[in-house]
Structure 1
Amino acid sequence: MNIIEEIFGEGKDLNVLQMSCRSVVVFFIAFLLLRISGRRSFGLRTPLDNIITITLGAVLSRAIVGASPFLPIVAASLVIALLHRAFAWLLMRSDAFASFAEGDKILLYSNGKFNRHHMKRALVREEDVMRGVRRAALTDDLNKIDSIYMEKNGEISVVKKEG
C-alpha cells in the first residue's frame, strides 16, 4: 500500500508526478464513464448533455488535485454517468419527457418575417439569427430562406426555399 501512496499521493499536498499519475488514471476513468453514458454526451450538445460534461469535469478534477477522497469521487462520477444514460433513455422513449427536459425548437423566421415574440423567448437578436443563417446557409439573402429555427441545443438551423 505504501508504493501506491507514494505514486498517487494522499490529500492536497501532491507533487507534479503524483498529480500526473492521478491525471492518467482519471483520464481512463472519464473515458469509461463517457462510454457508459453514451455517445450523445458530446454528440448532440443539448442542455442535458452539457450537464454531464460540466459535472464530470468538476467532480473528476477534485480527484486529480486531491481535494476529495478518490473512491467516492469515482462513485459519484459513475452515478452521474448512469443518470445521464437513464435520462437519455427516457428522452428516447417519451416525447413528453423530452419536451419537458429539452424544450422544443423555436420558429424564428417564416413567411418572410422574423417572429419577434419567439426571438424574445429564445433571447436572440436579429443579428444572432443572421449569423446562424450565414453559417448554415452560406448566404445573407433572406429571399432564399423559407424558415429559421432555434433548435433544442441552441443552434440556429435554416430551411432554404425549394428551387
Structure 2
Amino acid sequence: MHTAVMGTAGFLVLVLLLRISGARTMASMTPLDFVVAVTLGSAFGRTVTAVDVPASQAVAALVLLVGLQWLLATVRYRGGWMRRAVDSPPVLLWYDGALVQESLRRHRMTEADVHTAAREAGHGSLAGLQAVILQQDGSLGVITADGMGDGSTVLPYVEGHPA
C-alpha cells in the first residue's frame, strides 16, 4: 500500500513541478539536464520503494532538484561564466569538404559517425554537405552547402571553426 500511495503522490508532485518549471526541464537534454533527470529519477524511485522516507521529505527533495535545475537554467540564460561552465559548444566535425580531425579526436568521434549522420539526414555521401556538427545535446546535425547561407547561425558558435 505504501508504494502505491507514495508512487501516486510522488508522480503527481513531479508532474506538477515539471509543469510549473516549464518546457526547459523537458527540452532536448544537455549534460546538465541529463544529470538532473537521473537525480530526479533516483530520488523518486527511492521515495516509492523506501518505507522510512516521509512524504514531506520526498516532496522536499523533488522541489529542491527541480528548483536547482530552474536556478541553473536562469543563471545560464543570463550568460557569462555559468553558460561557459555548463554548456558544451557545438563542435564542427566536418567542414567545407574535410574532416576536422582535432575535433573528432577530442570528442572521441570517428569518420564513420560523420557518415552515419549524413545517411540519417538522407544523404548518400558527404559531397554537397557543408558541415556536420556535434550539437550540445550530443546529436549530430547536418547542413548542406545550399542550406549554409552565410553561416551566421553556425560558425560564430562552433568550436573548431577555422576562421
Which of the five TM-score ranges fits, normalised by the shorter chain?
Answer: 0.7 to 0.9
User: Cα RMSD over matched residues?
Assistant: 1.6
**Partner residue, 2:58:** 73
Aligned-residue sequence identity (percent) comes to: 25
Q: Secondary structure at the match of 2:75?
A: helix
Paired residue total = 146
Query: Which structure's relative contact order is higher, taking Cα pairs within 8 Å and 6+ residues apart?
Result: 2
**Partner residue, 1:126:** 111
**Partner residue, 2:100:** 115
Alpha-carbon distance in 1 for matches of 2:79, 2:115: 33
**Partner residue, 1:19:** 3
TM-score normalised over the length of structure 2:
0.82
Give ranges in structure 1 of 5+ residues lacking alignment: 1-16
**Partner residue, 2:154:** none
Please state how far the C-alpha of 1:55 moved relative to its aligned partner.
0.6
Stretch deviating more after TM superposition (150-159 or 89-98): 89-98
Q: Secondary structure at the match of 2:47?
A: helix
Alpha-carbon distance in 2 for matches of 1:134, 1:96: 37
- More helix per residue: 1
TM-score normalised over the length of structure 1:
0.82
Any idea what the Cα deviations from partners look like across 1:73-121, whole Å, max 9, x if unmatched?
Answer: 2112111111100111111111442122012111111121111110111
Contact kept, 8 Å, 2:134 with 2:141, in 1: the verdict is yes
Whichever residue aligns with residue 109 of structure 1, its letter is: W
**Partner residue, 1:31:** 15
